[in-house]
Amino acid sequence: MKRSLFQALGRAVLALGLLFTAPVWAETFAYPDDFPPRVLQSNNDFVDCVAPTGSGAPANKSSDLSLNDITVNSGVLACVLGAYNSADSDSVGFNEVTINGGTITHVQGGYHRAADVGADNNIVTIKGGTIQNIVGGGAGGIHATTARANNNQVIIESGAITGSLVGGSAFAPDSVANNNLVSILGGTLDPTVDLYGGVAEPGAAAVGNTLTLAVSGQTVRQISHFQRINFFLPFALANGGKMLTTTTPTDLTGVTTVNVASYGLGPAGFALGNEYILIENVTGTFTPIVSEISPADPYAGLPYVVLVRNGNLVLRIGLAADLTIIRTVGWDTQEANIGDDVQYKFMVRNHGPNDVVGARVQYIVPVNIEITGWTCTVFGAGVCSVAGGAAGLVDLTVDLPATPPGMGPAVEIEIKGKARASGTFDNIMSVTPPAGITDPDLTNNEARRTVTIHPDAELDVSINMLSALNVNVNAPVSYEIVVTNNGPDHAPGTRIVNNVPDRINNVTWTCAASAGAACPVPPNGAGNNINLLADLPVGETVTITVSGTASRAGNNLLNTATATPPVGVRLVNVPLSSASVTLTIISPFAGGPTASIPVLTPVGLGLLVLMLAGLVGWRRRKV
């Protein structure tokens, strides 16, 4: 059989694919047993097929199952099949269908629906016309227990495609669809087109299914079930151009290989630094691929990297180096208080494939930390542009040869400093490749650690008596508790406690705040156990005025007020956060403290005379 240059090109390069989990064609090949065969379309309508029956063929089987060569030049047809078998386990294979023109709903290289079946090595080539659905080889159905669809090809050289393109499809409890090829070498794809490589449902994960794309500017709905993709960049594709756009995000999970070539058709100005969008609108997990143009290409030896950037699968021509930076465990301060020492270590490596000269290493100094010194130490063949510094910014370049991950030369940056201001912030060290080098994985170019510098607050507490320290029973008692935050940090939720001596009754309190502070709501209360929360920014004050009545006599009544910052704020200068006064409540009655009476007052003199007279009378009686 004759094979075109396009067919040879379509088989020339291996490519990538992806695993698709949702069954799309799960009912497509559950055909009835009548002949000519009928194909169930995605809209659930059956269409009759034209197939090579030959003389004496059974009603459900082509006379020749292999090596059929069918060509359609024109006409309106529902379906064209290279070969069909639902009678026995004879495989359908090595059939070729060529469409030069016409309007056709369904084209398929070969189909087998009986038990233990296979449809392999069939080829569909579209050179013109308008075709809706195309399947290279399909096997399986409601009666099949095993199904196989391997090594089938769909090649689009020209024409218009409006539906789905499937390299191979197998549907049975035990099914495989491997190493099928879909090649888009020309023609026009409608934006509703779905491209599938090898669909095995519910079989094992497919392997080796390939999409080859040699035209640019196409838009389709989705790409699925490919493990390889080949891109032949056309001559007219300019720097920044697009090969393919998918309106539904293409899930790249499971992609193993991407190859790039021009084979003499390469873009004008194919040069270092150029970047092209291979697939616009992608998602999923994709491992960047670093390689170089094939030796058979006019641009042989040019290095390139394929990676996901800004939601697109991108090709960048140029040298590549996977630079990494990590924190050294045990040398990265996570929590500190103002004034504490902090230290950090970072290790920078180059996982290749190319050596790097002049990669920039930068530490973004947080405002919360003062750098007191840093050093750059080389392990192996690396080079630091600066050995270290006393203070300030950490900004240098390093040279690193390519080494396997986790091995070989490295540079270590050690940073020491002081915690100067409170806050929670990201501590970041980054490495950036020099101009002309593409880093295929930017996710490991930054080492980040969240650091908390706990705030400090000096709370100054005082008690100002508004009444005397010594008062009589039933006399009023009043005083002010003044709390001021001397800083350096805000103390929201400061707790103020004053346990008023129990010999003072009818205790009430009110709170007044300076302009930036805040009292509790409501700002007043009653009872001897005063316990409230106040908001105290730096430099602000709250004043609690306490009033009560002296109810019982007592000496050395200690009255203490304390202020405690909230959790997370360290209290500094602790003695200032508490204040005390000693009160005395005076009573003239027995059982309580005796009041001193001045003897020179009239009352005092009278009492003295009575005491002396009593003493004289007592002595006379005794004599």
- CA distances, 467 to each of 95, 496, 545 (Å): 112, 21, 12
Q: Which residue has the tokens 């705040």?
A: 513
pLDDT tens, position by position, 547-596:
999 999 999 999 999 999 999 899 999 999 999 999 999 986 644 444 44
On whether both 267 and 362 belong to a single domain, the answer is: no
**Which of residues 265, 292, 317 is at a domain's end?**
317
On whether both 485 and 373 belong to a single domain, the answer is: no
Give backbone dihedrals phi and psi of 591, rounded to 5 degrees, phi first. Answer: 90, -15
On whether both 308 and 391 belong to a single domain, the answer is: no
pLDDT tens, position by position, 156-174:
999 999 999 999 988 888 8
Average pLDDT on 223-244 reads 91
Q: How far apart are CA 198 and CA 208, in angstroms?
A: 8
Q: How far apart are CA 86 and CA 67, in angstroms?
A: 18
Closest CA to 178 of 196, 155, 197: 197
Residues 6+ apart with CB under 8 A from 575: none
| Count helices and strands in the chain by DSSP H and E runs | 2, 53
Residue 545 is assigned to a structural domain of this protein: yes
pLDDT band at residue 39 under the 50/70/90 scheme? very low
Residue 603 is assigned to a structural domain of this protein: no
Residues 6+ apart with CB under 8 A from 241: 216, 217, 267, 276, 277
Average pLDDT on 255-274 reads 75
Encoded tokens for 213: 């794309």
More confident residue, 144 or 84: 84
On whether both 396 and 510 belong to a single domain, the answer is: no
pLDDT tens, position by position, 352-362:
888 999 999 99
On whether both 450 and 461 belong to a single domain, the answer is: no
Encoded tokens for 601: 């007052």
The Cβ of residue 66 has, within 10 Å, a number of other Cβ atoms equal to 17
Cβ atoms of 421 and 367 closer than 8 Å: yes
Q: How far apart are CA 72 and CA 622, in angstroms?
A: 157
pLDDT tens, position by position, 179-191:
999 999 999 999 9
Torsion angle of C-alpha atoms 97, 102, 104, 107, degrees rounded to 10: 10
Average pLDDT on 306-323 reads 89
On whether both 502 and 393 belong to a single domain, the answer is: no
Rounded to two decimals, what is the model's pTM? 0.62
The answer to whether the bond into 488 is cis (omega within 30° of 0) is yes
pLDDT of residue 252: 92
Provide the domain count of the chain.
Answer: 3
Dihedral sign of CA atoms 347, 352, 357, 362 in order: negative
**Which of residues 454, 469, 490 is at a domain's end?**
454
pLDDT of residue 77: 86
Residue 491 is assigned to a structural domain of this protein: yes
Which of 61-70, 136-145, 309-318, 455-464 has the highest mean predicted lDDT (pLDDT)? 455-464
On whether both 336 and 302 belong to a single domain, the answer is: no
pLDDT of residue 555: 93
Residue 399 is assigned to a structural domain of this protein: yes
CB burial string 404-440: b at 16+ within 10 A, e below: eeeebbbbbbbbbbebbbbeebebbbbbbbeeebbbb
Radius of gyration of the CA atoms of the chain, in A: 45
Q: In sequence order, what are the beta bridge partners of 39?
A: 47
pLDDT of residue 498: 97
pLDDT of residue 335: 87
Full residue range of the structural domain in which residue 371 is found: 322-454
CATH code for the domain of 502: 2.60.40.10
Give the whole-number percent of the chain exceeding pLDDT 70.
80
Q: How far apart are CA 435 and CA 317, in angstroms?
A: 13
On whether both 352 and 391 belong to a single domain, the answer is: yes
Q: How far apart are CA 560 and CA 248, in angstroms?
A: 71
More confident residue, 592 or 33: 592
Residue 437 has pLDDT above 60, yes or no: yes
Residue 593 is assigned to a structural domain of this protein: no
Residue 270 is assigned to a structural domain of this protein: yes
What's the mean pLDDT when you consider all of the chain? 82
Cβ atoms of 215 and 186 closer than 8 Å: yes
**Which of residues 298, 317, 336 is at a domain's end?**
317
Q: What is the 3-state secondary structure (H, E, C) of 230-269?
A: EEECCCCCCCCCEEEEEEEEEECCCCCEEEEECCCCCCCC
If phi over 0 gives left and psi between -120 and 50 gives alpha, with beta otherwise, what is residue 44? left
Residue 600 is assigned to a structural domain of this protein: no
Give backbone dihedrals phi and psi of 149, rounded to 5 degrees, phi first. Answer: -140, 90
On whether both 130 and 207 belong to a single domain, the answer is: yes
pLDDT band at residue 337 under the 50/70/90 scheme? confident
Residue 377 is assigned to a structural domain of this protein: yes
On whether both 157 and 228 belong to a single domain, the answer is: yes
Closest CA to 494 of 505, 503, 481, 504: 481
pLDDT band at residue 114 under the 50/70/90 scheme? low
Q: In sequence order, what are the beta bridge partners of 514?
A: none
On whether both 312 and 329 belong to a single domain, the answer is: no
Residue 615 has pLDDT above 90, yes or no: no
On whether both 213 and 354 belong to a single domain, the answer is: no
DSSP string, 175-237: EE--S-EEEE-SSEE-TT-EEEEEEEESSSPP---EEEE---SEEESEEES-EEEEEE--TT-
CA angle 513, 519, 521 (to 5 degrees): 140
For residue 267, the Cα-to-chain-centroid distance in whole angstroms is 35
